[in-house]
Structure 1
Amino acid sequence: MEEEDDDVLPTLEDDEEVNVEDDSLFEKNLLQWAPDRKDGAIVAMALGNNTILVATDKHKLFMLTNDGNTAKGRSPKKDVLYEESCTKYAHAKKKKEFEIPKKFIGSEKNQIHKIFMDWNCNHILVTYESDANVYINVQKAAKPMQLTKCKGLVIESVVWDEHGLTKTNTGVIVFGTTDGGIYEMIIGEKEKHFAKLYDLTTCRVPNANEPNKIFHESKTSVRVCGLHIEYLASKDEGSGPLSRASVASRAQNVGLGAGRNSEMLQQRVAMLGNTGFIDNDSDEDEPSVKRSGAATGTSTVVSSAPERKQSMSSAKETGAKLQFYVVAIIPNRMYEFIGGPTLHALFRAYDNKPEFKEIPGSFILNTFCYVCVCV
């Protein structure tokens, strides 16, 4: 007697047996909106709180809000193509529209690479394929601001400082670039602060005196396709080193995102540990020591977390003893950084001595999808 295989997933031929209405986690609906022909084709998207941000190849941005309703039937727009098998589409209302000035773009061939938006939909970053980065404050409805200090950088991933964000100030923005750089900046009425934190190409901090080592082959891509930052809490604040980690930020539009609560963080750490990315084995008995997922296997003491609403920009060298947990992803490696009390101090501790895990080329995309589902 053959045993029934319970692990077989339904295929396209089994769609009649799958009850989509029972899937309360996700529901796929077609969006009842499309840009006019004069506005160009969609090239990038970003998500916020009940809001979709869409960018087109005509350098226009549209903020769409979803009213939460769905309808059956075909879209009334005749110039929008839909699959006949899909009968649901979501209502969308255009909230705001922005246009990037041509003087910021340089060449007409220079296209938008990615767009980023914070969860509250107050701040927008637009990065181009070549030599242009633009900031937009949504609430002030101000004209787009060219980020001159980011000139020449192509932003690949962004982490917003949730507790430092206001309607007029971004708090600390940490971002990774296509050439392996990790930077921080603060934007208010103007570019208030900009600094480089780390370079994954050389694994050095800025202005390092020692000669660089070669950590990557010349053909290896070092684009920072994922960034993740958490505050860390000590053992005495919960049931584990990360059990009550205060969320510092949520990564947008990247492979890894900051968790909304500690349970999700533990799930992601456990998942990565099961796949071999994080070394969960520890010979230490001290409850305040967390074994990092580094190739060197070093241990780092996790200090007590400060006030819940502590932001990345409010800790000083002589002030709160803040500890950060940073994960940076490039296509074939996952880097981990643990320390503080500032981001600069954290990365200085890893100058010329990076800690990373090699990622199998065929596994990284699956990992990103899995983590995105957990966020």
Structure 2
Amino acid sequence: MDLPVMPPVKPMLAKSVKKIPPGMQYEAKWDGFRAIVHRDGPELELGSRTGKPLTRYFPELVAALAERLPARCVVDGEIVIAHDGRLDFDRLSERIHPAASRVAMLAERTPARFIAFDLLALGDDSLLDTPLVERRTALERMLAGVGAPVHLAPATTDVEVAEEWFERYEGAGLDGVVAKPLDLPYRPDTRLMYKIKHERTADVVVAGYRFHKSGPVVGSLLLGLHDDRGTLQHVGVCAAFTARRRAELVEELEPLRMDPPAGHPWARWADETAHETSRLPGAPSRWTGKKDLSWVALRPERVCEVGYDHMEGDRFRHTAQFRRWRPDRTPESCGYGQLAEPVSYDLAEVLSGSG
């Protein structure tokens, strides 16, 4: 491979802001795997956000991109999988599997799509120093008439349209809106764009914690919500505490510690078969490898309020943010019914640009 922008390339990133800024290019924030495609004739590589290749996990995309992209180009975008008209991150995560036979089976059963939103090189020319508005024009020209599973990400410079997308597209599983300055060059691994994400709050049960990698202090709190049967389901974690607060939390939560954890609703977490029927912390993960997922069980008696952006099935999609303790709430009152559900919106409408 011999391109003007060679792999690995870490993608340009965005920093969080509360409101959609004016005077920029706006796109939906896709909830998938960020990927940079390098193609040089018969050679094609999908690079992940960390620079590691994703190529072997998406053979159907390799074939489609080789058929639909120019012979020499570097394209930034997102790999997604859609199910029932919305993005499905769980099905996407299943693709990261060591067995080639399973990858091939999933590629046929749940084929992926590639959403292109930036162009880093074309032919013998690097576009890293080219302003965004010119890169976008070149990308639109390059992908004119392209067909599924390769898509050109819808974009607008109308802030009112962006605000409408922010409200409507969440129902299709999208993650918010990204705002990009029109004169922005492409700067890998630098936060020069802006992301505006949905945020809501929920009252959740604190039922355990994991230690921080720095030592015997709290790294994250394990959160639960009661389902319709009254079962406490693990829905995610909240983190981002200061070093001082991590140490304080160990002492603060010590009276609730269950050692051994007999009688805890998640006591069977170490039994791999238990994860097939219940949502428990410490589930085997193809992402974390041999990372220690053990945790300290707490009597599920304390309630806290957390901020979250959106749900993926029955759990928080991303790490929640601790807001405050809620001594006025009982654990039994913390159920899924309090969670706001976005209005359903078909992903096909987003990709068609008619939304």
Give the TM-score taking structure 2 as reference length. Answer: 0.27
* Structure with greater helix percent: 2
Which structure has more relative contact order (CA 8 Å, sep 6+)? It is 2
